Amino acid sequence: MEVGELELDLDAFEGPFDLLLTLVLKQELEPADVDVAEIVLLFVERLAERGELDLDVCGEFLVLVAALLELKARGLFADESGDLDDLDAEEAAEELARRLAEYRRIREAAAWLAERLGAEGGRFFRVGPAPLAPSPERRLARQDAEQLAAAMRSLAAEPAALSLSHMALQFPPVSQFLDRFRALLTRRSRFDFDSEVARLSRPEQAVAFLALLELRKVGEVALAQAAPFAAIRVARADPLEEREWIARSA
């Protein structure tokens, strides 16, 4: 929408906004007869009908209405004392024409810049120094040949062999725990297996458990456990009960 296309229907004028400004500048229409408030209301209604805000059109309208208000104020208070006393109607008209011309130049410059921006929008600028710019000279610090040779010799040396000795597992013989459990059962009739092996390592506990199973296999001990994962109770086996259990198993 152009501001000049705004149709006005006022008491003193009917037609486009451009014609109204022309008549005011040519002093063929008194500024006091122009209802500026009605013009603003008509412009706002026209914007509401379009449903979008055009900043260029609004800026142009504000400049023109401000100039019209200033011209109207100078005409209304021409006889009053103040800063406006030095300007007559002709000078005010010239001032309005000057401002309109300045606004037109600024608008043409903005259009030219927008056109250049659209034309140059597809170009990409190089990030970094120009191709013909002299490259900076890299200067190395003073080097020591002996230190360089020592570093090269350390890289060429054969690496030390990896030792896995710390990962080897040492398993004690099963007979050691067989003798231990048998000696323990000679002193007392039963013991708690978990308590006896609590201070041993994991490999030693595994070997001790194998020894316990061996004693159970030959019928020397009886094993009891209240629940899964509960403590294992070890007791001397009764020979009579052991023979009955072997007979029932057979």
- CA atoms within a 13 Å half-sphere pointing along the CA-CB vector of 26: 7
Q: Say whether pLDDT at 212 is over 70.
A: yes
pLDDT tens digits, residue range 90-119?
777 777 788 788 888 888 888 888 888 888
* Predicted local distance difference test score (pLDDT) of residue 70: 80
**218 contacts 177 by C-beta, under 8 angstroms:** no
pLDDT tens digits, residue range 65-96?
887 888 777 766 555 444 445 667 777 777 77
Q: What is the three-state SS of 187-205?
A: HCCEEEHHHHCCCCCHHHH
Average pLDDT of span 121-134: 67
pLDDT tens digits, residue range 147-189?
888 888 888 888 888 877 767 777 889 999 999 999 998 888 8
Residue entry with tokens 């037609």: 15
By the 10 Å C-beta count (0-12 exposed, 13-18 middle, 19+ buried), 187 is classed as exposed
Count how many residues are written for the chain: 250
* Predicted local distance difference test score (pLDDT) of residue 201: 87
DSSP of 155-219: HHSPPPPPP-GGG---PPPHHHHHHHHHHHHHH-SEEEHHHHTTTS-HHHHHHHHHHHHHHHHTT
Least confident segment among 66-70, 133-137, 232-236: 133-137
By the 10 Å C-beta count (0-12 exposed, 13-18 middle, 19+ buried), 209 is classed as middle
pLDDT tens digits, residue range 18-72?
777 777 777 777 777 777 788 788 888 877 777 777 777 788 778 888 878 887 7
- CA atoms within a 13 Å half-sphere pointing along the CA-CB vector of 94: 5
* Predicted local distance difference test score (pLDDT) of residue 192: 92
Confidence of residue 210 (pLDDT cuts 50, 70, 90): very high
Residue entry with tokens 């294992």: 232
**177 contacts 207 by C-beta, under 8 angstroms:** yes
* Predicted local distance difference test score (pLDDT) of residue 86: 62
Considering only residues 204 and 83, tell me which one the structure prediction assigns the higher pLDDT: 204
What is the CATH number assigned to the segment(s) 171-249?
Answer: 1.10.10.580
By the 10 Å C-beta count (0-12 exposed, 13-18 middle, 19+ buried), 204 is classed as middle
Q: Where are the domains of the chain?
A: 3-118, 171-249
